[in-house]
Structure 1
Amino acid sequence: MGEQKFDVLPRGVNQQAFLKAVEAFRKLLGDENVLTKPEQLIAYMKIMMPVDEAEHAPSAALTATTVEQIQAIVKICNEYRIPIWTISTGRNFGYGSAAPHHRGQIILDLKKMNKILHVDPELCTALVEPGVTYQQLYDYLQAHDLPLMLSMPAPSAIAGPLGNTMDRGVGYTPYGEHFLMQCGMEVVLANGEVLRTGMGGVKGDNSWQVFKWGYGPTIDGLFTQSNYGICTKMGFWLMPRPPVYKPFSIKFDSEDDIADIVEVLRPLRIAQIIPNALVIANALWEAGGANVRRTQYYEGQGVTPDDVIERICADKGIGQWNVYAALYGTREQVAVNWQIVTDAIKALGKGAIITEEEAGDTEPFKYRAKLMQGIPNLQEFGLYNWRGGGGSMWFAPVSQARGSETSKQMRLAKKILNKYGLDYVGEFIVGWRDMHHVIDVLCDRSDPAEFKAAYACFQELLDEFERQGYAVYRVNTAFMERVAQSYGPVKRRVEHAIKRALDPNNILAPGKSGIDLETFKG
């Protein structure tokens, strides 16, 4: 049998060198953990961005099970200048999926490193490996009857706490700022050394998951949204399950209500009357969550007409804007805060409050209530059925939590999306003082015209929002370089100086967040 010939190669690596590297990987990991055949790589090539899949095709994929194996992998990568793109639970829909940043990078898949290493029910902490999913951790808490609550993104069951936190994702409970709740990382550096952040470097110390800072510079954040190391363990805090949990929604019937919604709710959020990151979802986002397909109501091309949206709202009992929030605590605490919330909405003079008892088993209330209670589910994947065709890119600009900002962003986004024949499908997630405006740019990847339009639309969204002083906090792999430019040349020079110091051979995920020694000209 002749030697395998690889159709896809890493940048700057020839067939002979790559074959030697693959042989070294096989000797280290075994044949079953070194995937090079096209049919084995299909799962790592599925993308939802409107770009050619070939641009993000991996040359191979590795599955590792130990820290020692990862140390040995980076040694081989340094020897042969092989770039690796690390994933954990293997999903990142809307932000690039599992595919690498650019063609030829090897996927390092850590899904088999899926041990829940420790959960402390008294201090409410956990320590997990990269492959642990929210569903797995939730099942563990349930099986051991631990009174702890998770915070997770949506959809959540197949996502994992380590990967989501490393990309600075957010959730929907009072612990929804996930990086804020992270405490202690173990990281394999490009030279193979193992770094433990915070208190983790002190021999015999037992405070790794309770004290974030340690001594000297705090460097955990350097490893989030970066390519400076491979995180192999992460600690984080869990919320004690409260005796009373009261989810609710508020339905608003006019798109123009968005500014008033934020102004009335922001003070309650900052004061922790409403302690979780509240969501304000528009009608079409809700339609997706209720499993509505566009073709059920409209067969035409381009933007969905307003009268069609109004008919969907009437049929499904949803508003033009739909607020989701929850109260947590003792019976007395919840009763007092509920009075404050209802009084505020009454004073506003608009908005219909819907309780869990009133909503019953209806979607999308049901899955939202689960999210805010830390119960994983996959219901929000219904968004992808709204338009169909497998195309999705999340556009997520950040702003102050002000009503004026909300109105401005909504109108600007809607104008640009509609220009390209695409629907505005969006929600605002109000943190303590910030807002993430998450828009799903949905398109049919099988339609060449829509494919092209969606790409141009995303470019214009980035350009126009930047002109207005807004930038996104996270983006898909096709636009990482473009977004990095938004944050200015000084930040980029610092990022690349750190990269040169920690990874001079540029082997760890080149291109992640625009950090790539080979292409940077700053």
Structure 2
Amino acid sequence: MSKYVALPAGVSEKVFDTALAEYRAILGPDHVITAAERLVPYNKIMLPVDDERHAPSAAICPGSVEEVQRCVAVCNKHKVPVWPISTGKNFGYGSAAPATRGQVVMDLRRMNRILDVDADLCTALVEPGVTYQQMYDHLQDNKIPLWLSCPAPSAIVGPLGNTVDRGVGYTPYGEHFMFQCGMEVVLPDASLLRTGMGSLPNSNTWQVFKWGYGPYLDGIFTQSNYGIVTKMGLWLMPAPPDFRPFVIRYDDEADIVTAVETLRPLRMANIIPNAVVIVHALWEAGSAYARSDHFTGPGAFTDDAVRTMVKKTGMGVWNLYAGLYGSPEQNDVAWKIVQGAVKASGKGRILTAAEVGEDPVFKYRADLMQGRMNTKEFGLYNWRGGGGSCWFAPVSQARGSETLKQMEMAKRILNRHGIDYVAEFIVGWRDMHHVIDLLFDRTDFNQTRAAHACYRELLQEFAAQGYGVYRANTAFMDEVADCYGDAKRKINATLKRALDPNGIIAPGKSGIWATV
């Protein structure tokens, strides 16, 4: 029996002893973790699978890019696979745990410097461990009039990790990778690459011009295992002189068609410039209530119970949150256009901040739309209790008919497995991210088994209808990659072999292996 919690695949205990000794020589003993009790945070998943499938063998915590390079060299020498994380708060997608058992977690949280903020050009350069809260505080403390775009559970997560997993936010800069500019990457051979203009010595345009010269490379380091991103540039939004959040509440599930058809022309014309979110009542309720406050029956939350809850609380079955950004004069004109569009649609109750009053859910959404920090969305995990969460996130066209079709498909499958339809649509310019949180009691074997079967059925049926997910949890990465076909898997493997012939960086990430 090994003295370690797990061993890396293909690595003997003796070889692992040697690798750990070399990590300790580089990082110091306090930053190399093998004790079972100290590894618990790196294996605290919320997915409907056994923790043991994702148990790390150790965790190493470098404090500089040079230490990352030296540790990667050790990994290469001993063929030890390493799973890099930034803050490790990837809840619902796998948290900090590696995709496969035995990988060494490389925890980059000690690398938490804000290296530069340019208030004139509205750019920043950050390390992996920087959190959105840290960035927000830096802007506030230094009276820099710039806004972040952050995901919903924002305070304890970081812009680098969220961006390289192609996460989204709720401001006009909500498509985070689109507003990323320049990366520093430790490659699998321990060499250092700076993408875009960063490859040029003494460049001062690294954070302002994305493309550089020749093939654009930043994209291959997102949702991949081709390198370890140690610095990232991002664009920040100038604080507008006037911001006007509002909500449109719809009273019937089928009204999602009207909501999307009303919104899309306004979104594409930039009348509404931000990444709009259309929130289902059960997601809305999960931020403020426990499930048992409104439903105690067996099986999934029923449509009748949703309607009763909506009438009791005053929320909509669908709740569309958006904002206007600009000068007061600009927003006056835009507001008349938005009001006219909603009135012409014949559905929806449009409410301003003043009309909503002290609604904490509205305040939470208004904060997100201006990049203010909160952790309110973690209230979802109290909806059912038991710590189970598994996010399913297919992409839809921004068409009402497509959105209705996805909702009906999802509800049918979820309800068959006794799981509630807790969902929202995040609206881009032409697409919609349909984010569904499979919430279940992970201490209940039957609920856990149902959630696993439900996710698999969702994935297979949505793929059969031509709907792919944009982001996947670690338990299903191979199955998601299969949905995208052999050609894509082969090119991913070809790049992996070329850049990482020993397969040491995050094997299995996004279903990418050196062989297929």
1:351 to 348, 364, 388: 348
**Cα deviation per residue 1:424-471 (whole Å; 9 max; x = unaligned)?**
111111100011111001111111111100000000000000111101
State whether residues 63 and 108 of structure 1, in contact with CA within 8 Å, keep that contact through their aligned partners in structure 2.
yes
- Aligned position for 1:326: 323
Tell me which amino acid in the other structure corresponds to 2:123: T
**Cα deviation per residue 1:195-242 (whole Å; 9 max; x = unaligned)?**
000000111110000001110111000000000000000001000000
The alignment status of 1:49 with 2:47, answered yes or no, reads: yes
- Aligned position for 2:497: 500
The alignment status of 1:158 with 2:156, answered yes or no, reads: yes
The alignment status of 1:396 with 2:412, answered yes or no, reads: no
CA separation in 1, counterparts of 2:309 and 2:155? 28
Q: Secondary structure at the match of 1:180?
A: helix
2:430 to 430, 433, 439: 433
**What is the RMSD of the two structures over their aligned residues, measured on CA atoms?**
1.1
Describe how 1:10-409 pairs up with structure 2 within 5 A.
10-290=8-288, 292-409=289-406
Tell me which amino acid in the other structure corresponds to 1:511: G
Moved more, 301-310 or 331-340: 301-310
Q: Secondary structure at the match of 1:387?
A: coil
The number of aligned residues is 516
CA separation in 2, counterparts of 1:11 and 1:153? 34
State whether residues 126 and 235 of structure 1, in contact with CA within 8 Å, keep that contact through their aligned partners in structure 2.
yes
- Aligned position for 2:4: 6
- Aligned position for 2:451: 454
CA separation in 2, counterparts of 1:9 and 1:38? 13
CA separation in 1, counterparts of 2:420 and 2:265? 31
CA separation in 1, counterparts of 2:234 and 2:161? 12
Tell me which amino acid in the other structure corresponds to 2:382: N
- Aligned position for 1:480: 477
Post-superposition offset of 1:256: 1.0
Please, which runs of 5 or more residues in structure 1 have no aligned partner? none
CA separation in 1, counterparts of 2:342 and 2:134? 38
Q: Secondary structure at the match of 1:183?
A: strand
Q: Secondary structure at the match of 2:415?
A: helix
State whether residues 115 and 126 of structure 2, in contact with CA within 8 Å, keep that contact through their aligned partners in structure 1.
yes
**Cα deviation per residue 1:313-354 (whole Å; 9 max; x = unaligned)?**
223221100000000000000000000000001111111111
Q: TM-score, normalising length from structure 2?
A: 0.99
Q: Secondary structure at the match of 1:101?
A: coil
State whether residues 248 and 348 of structure 2, in contact with CA within 8 Å, keep that contact through their aligned partners in structure 1.
yes
CA separation in 2, counterparts of 1:503 and 1:510? 10
**Cα deviation per residue 1:407-427 (whole Å; 9 max; x = unaligned)?**
100000000000001111111
State whether residues 289 and 363 of structure 1, in contact with CA within 8 Å, keep that contact through their aligned partners in structure 2.
no
Tell me which amino acid in the other structure corresponds to 2:262: V
Tell me which amino acid in the other structure corresponds to 2:477: M
Post-superposition offset of 1:300: 2.4
CA separation in 2, counterparts of 1:161 and 1:411? 33
CA separation in 2, counterparts of 1:181 and 1:137? 16
The alignment status of 1:413 with 2:397, answered yes or no, reads: no
CA separation in 1, counterparts of 2:225 and 2:2? 30
CA separation in 2, counterparts of 1:94 and 1:321? 23
Post-superposition offset of 1:260: 1.2
Q: TM-score, normalising length from structure 1?
A: 0.98
State whether residues 5 and 55 of structure 2, in contact with CA within 8 Å, keep that contact through their aligned partners in structure 1.
no
CA separation in 1, counterparts of 2:299 and 2:443? 15
CA separation in 1, counterparts of 2:420 and 2:150? 27
Change (3 A) 1:217 1:462: same
Post-superposition offset of 1:4: 8.3
Tell me which amino acid in the other structure corresponds to 2:406: Q
Tell me which amino acid in the other structure corresponds to 1:479: F
Tell me which amino acid in the other structure corresponds to 2:448: F
State whether residues 283 and 380 of structure 2, in contact with CA within 8 Å, keep that contact through their aligned partners in structure 1.
yes
CA separation in 2, counterparts of 1:298 and 1:328? 39
CA separation in 2, counterparts of 1:375 and 1:361? 17
